[in-house]
Chains A and B, each alone.
Chain A
Amino acid sequence: MIVVNTELVPGREVVQILGLVQGNTVRAKNVGRDIAAGFKNMVGGELKGYTQLLVESRRQSVERMIAQANELGADAIVNVRFTTSAVTNGAAELYAYGTAVKLMSMNVGTVQSAPISDEIVGE
């Protein structure tokens, strides 16, 4: 699955638009992270636990979006966007959405099949 947040995929042509696919997740921070964050709020600096939470949420929502696109038989998801909303105190929703499309490879040199794995590497 090719996942990009541009409207086009380099070297490929969109032949069919399958529609909007989406994935979301609502994650709550846990008490341990809360206490650590409380201390960090005195001295400042990066909240590594919360960054990790954000990474996990993003990965989860993208995975769910990819699963939906796979069901539609898509080759790629284009124009991916993220948005967040605060559901309740201490829990945030991360929502990923994009357009699932079918691609045709263009005749430019030797076109490789997509070397991108489904796993989106973080960090």
Chain B
Amino acid sequence: MEGLIGIAIQIGIAALLLGIGFGVGGVTERRHFKKLNSREFLYKGFLVTNLSKIPYADPRSPGTLVTGECVIATDYFKSFVAKLKKIIGGELRIYLSLMDRSRRESIIRLIESAQSQGFDAVCNVRFVSADVGGSTSNRKGSTMVAIIASGTAYKRAELSEHQTMVS
């Protein structure tokens, strides 16, 4: 009898965590996406490329390195679904949104850093993912996505016929 109660309590806690993960995690994610959309709209005119040749650069100002970092955690619901999916394999579509959020957030931070230093374009953008949670070296490590975006911020040359092509 006591064993049954114990099992019931455990299932109850797991269900509660799943509920919290699904509810709070979902709300957090939707809110983050909404914020990302509005901030991306704000920086629509900002020229961001991953070209190594600096396009339309103003030769009077040397560029500088700018970076943007972001670490996004998973929630209990996502981890649970992923664990189930891992049994049969295939694409873990539930984790795609984490990667997306982390990348977009770090790009926006990169742009913000460039703009605060008075630059109006970023080129040669690179992404690196870091393993801060140690999830690759230890199976118990918590799931999170850590992204560092780096690029060269520079000033664009005064309006030319090229620029109309860009915007």
Q: Give Cα A116 to B153, complex, Å.
A: 11
A67 at the interface (CB under 8 A from B): no
A61: shortest Cβ distance to chain B, in Å?
Answer: 11
Known: A47-B71, A89-B134. A41 touches B79 (CB 8 A): yes
B67 shortest CB reach to chain A, Å: 6
Task: Report the interface size for chain B: residues with CB under 8 A from the other chain.
Answer: 62
* Inter-chain contacts of B150 with A (CB < 8 A): 5, 80-82
Are the CB atoms of A54 and B131 closer together than 8 Å?
no
With contacts A54-B146, A120-B67 taken as known, whether A92 is within 8 angstroms of B152 at the C-beta atoms is: no
The verdict on B167 contacting chain A, using a C-beta distance below 8 Å, is no
Interface size on A, residues (CB 8 A): 57
Q: In the complex the two chains form, is A46's CB within 8 Å of B141's CB?
A: no
A121 to B154, CA, bound (A): 15
Interface SS of A by simple majority: mixed
| A8 in contact with B134 given A62-B65, A111-B60, A120-B67 (CB within 8 Å) | no
A-B Cβ contacts below 8 A, count: 189
B positions within 8 Å CB-CB of A: 17, 20-21, 24-25, 28-29, 32, 52-54, 57-67, 69-76, 78-79, 105, 109, 112-113, 116-117, 123-124, 126, 128-134, 136-138, 141-144, 146, 148, 150-152, 154-155
Taking Cβ atoms with an 8 Å cutoff, the residues of A that contact B are 2-12, 29, 37-38, 40-47, 50-51, 53-55, 58, 62, 76, 80-92, 94, 106, 108-112, 114-116, 120-123
The 22 sampled A-B contact pairs (Cβ below 8 Å) are A2-B63, A4-B124, A5-B65, A9-B62, A10-B57, A12-B62, A29-B133, A44-B25, A46-B105, A50-B71, A51-B69, A54-B132, A54-B146, A54-B148, A82-B128, A87-B137, A90-B134, A109-B59, A114-B62, A115-B61, A116-B62, A122-B69
